[in-house]
Amino acid sequence: MQALSRIMLTFLSEFSLIDRYSSQRRQPHHSAILGIGDDCALLAARPGHELAVSTDMLLEGCHFFADVPPVTLGHKALAVNLSDLAAMGAEPRAFTLALALPDTGTSRQDWLDAFSHGLFSLADRYSCELVGGDTTAGPLNICITVFGDVPCGQALRRDGAQPGDDIWVSGALGDARLALGALRNEWPLTIDQLPALRHALQMPEPRIALGIALRGIAHAALDLSDGLAGDLSHILRRSNVTAHVDVDALPRSAALREQPLSIQYRCAIEGGDDYELCFTAPSSQRDTLLALIPRIGISLTRIGTIDTLSDLDKGNTSVTNLYKAHWYDSSGSPIDTTWRSFDHFYEK
């Protein structure tokens, strides 16, 4: 009982540390009617808006290496959640944090300080307020729930893709997987390539401005967390359509283009952790979308089209195969490969 009390007091003080760190930030966000300190936070509904809610968990050894700097871990833990708000066209508002920490003694305070710095630096940029949380002892595990606002009926959903739509992606694909492979000695990178690629893996930037700009333009959208092949199939399944994708059109960094084509495909099509947006939009929106690029400062690339399911597609008895995209090279020749999505359990 004494040991339990000691642990509870320790963790109470640790959450107080995060709370204190939060309250010292430069701007109070005033998102919650009642924030940390009661049994629940109270959030008022914004008139004319719906509340978007999403949860993501990061587990040591599964989603990140044990030696990853805590400042980048704090950033990424919130970034992957904000990315889900971006994918829905929602504006960040508040978040909760549940944290399991191993008992590593006095170094834990330094770890928490760096983690909090990464977390709240990103939260500040999006005026996203910490409104509650919990801590416990255990293997390092970070679970964040985010709350965002989206005008009624304007959320970007996965089930709205229509035959004839263009398929677009933001940014470049595959750099996070390229960095992960280099860190796991799957393939080499030059010493000057690694910092930028490691940044892509550890410090993803949620595409909030893009998601908001896509309201009323995109028919369907999601963020690429598990790789293009797997994530695009979610849109196809929810929208009951298929897709034709030009692999040569996939946006790739100069570093990735230096790799053999098989690695380029593996990283850009199967690799996870990109946190770019993939969305569909009618071809009549092409000029509008291209005009967005300088405004939001993120490249947008058209990579394929949405189509109705063919009789051949419908012949698939497996739902997984039914909603797989069809992949082609730029000459229109089909690429007969089965891409799989990035699986954190498989890819350990």
Q: Binders of Mg ion among 137-176, rule CB under 5 A?
A: none
**Strand, helix or coil for residue 57:** strand
Q: Smallest distance, Å, CB 192 to Mg ion? A: 32
C-beta closer to Mg ion: residue 197 or 224: 224
C-beta closer to Mg ion: residue 149 or 223: 223
Which residue in the block uniquely carries the two structure tokens 């490249």? 299
Residue 142 phi, psi dihedral angles, 5° rounding = -120, 120
Applying CB under 5 A, what is the total number of residues that bind Mg ion? 2
| 73 within 8 A of 45, measured Cβ to Cβ | no
Q: Binders of Mg ion among 33-52, rule CB under 5 A?
A: none
The neighbouring-strand residues paired with 333 are: none
Q: Binders of Mg ion among 61-90, rule CB under 5 A?
A: 84
Q: Smallest distance, Å, CB 223 to Mg ion? A: 4
C-beta closer to Mg ion: residue 22 or 239: 239
320-322-325 Cα angle (round to 5):
90
Encoded tokens for 46 = 């914004």
104 Rama class: left (phi>0) / alpha (psi -120 to 50) / beta = alpha
d(CA 171, CA 209): 13
Q: Should residue 273 be labelled a site residue for Mg ion when binding is judged by CB under 5 A?
A: no
C-beta closer to Mg ion: residue 84 or 166: 84
Q: Smallest distance, Å, CB 200 to Mg ion? A: 17
Encoded tokens for 156 = 């970007």
C-beta closer to Mg ion: residue 71 or 220: 220
Encoded tokens for 181 = 């492979």
Q: Smallest distance, Å, CB 209 to Mg ion? A: 17
User: Of these, 223, 226, 270, 276, which contacts Mg ion (CB under 5 A)?
Assistant: 223
**Strand, helix or coil for residue 306:** strand
Q: Smallest distance, Å, CB 295 to Mg ion? A: 24
Q: Smallest distance, Å, CB 309 to Mg ion? A: 24
Question: Applying CB under 5 A, which residues contact Mg ion?
Answer: 84, 223
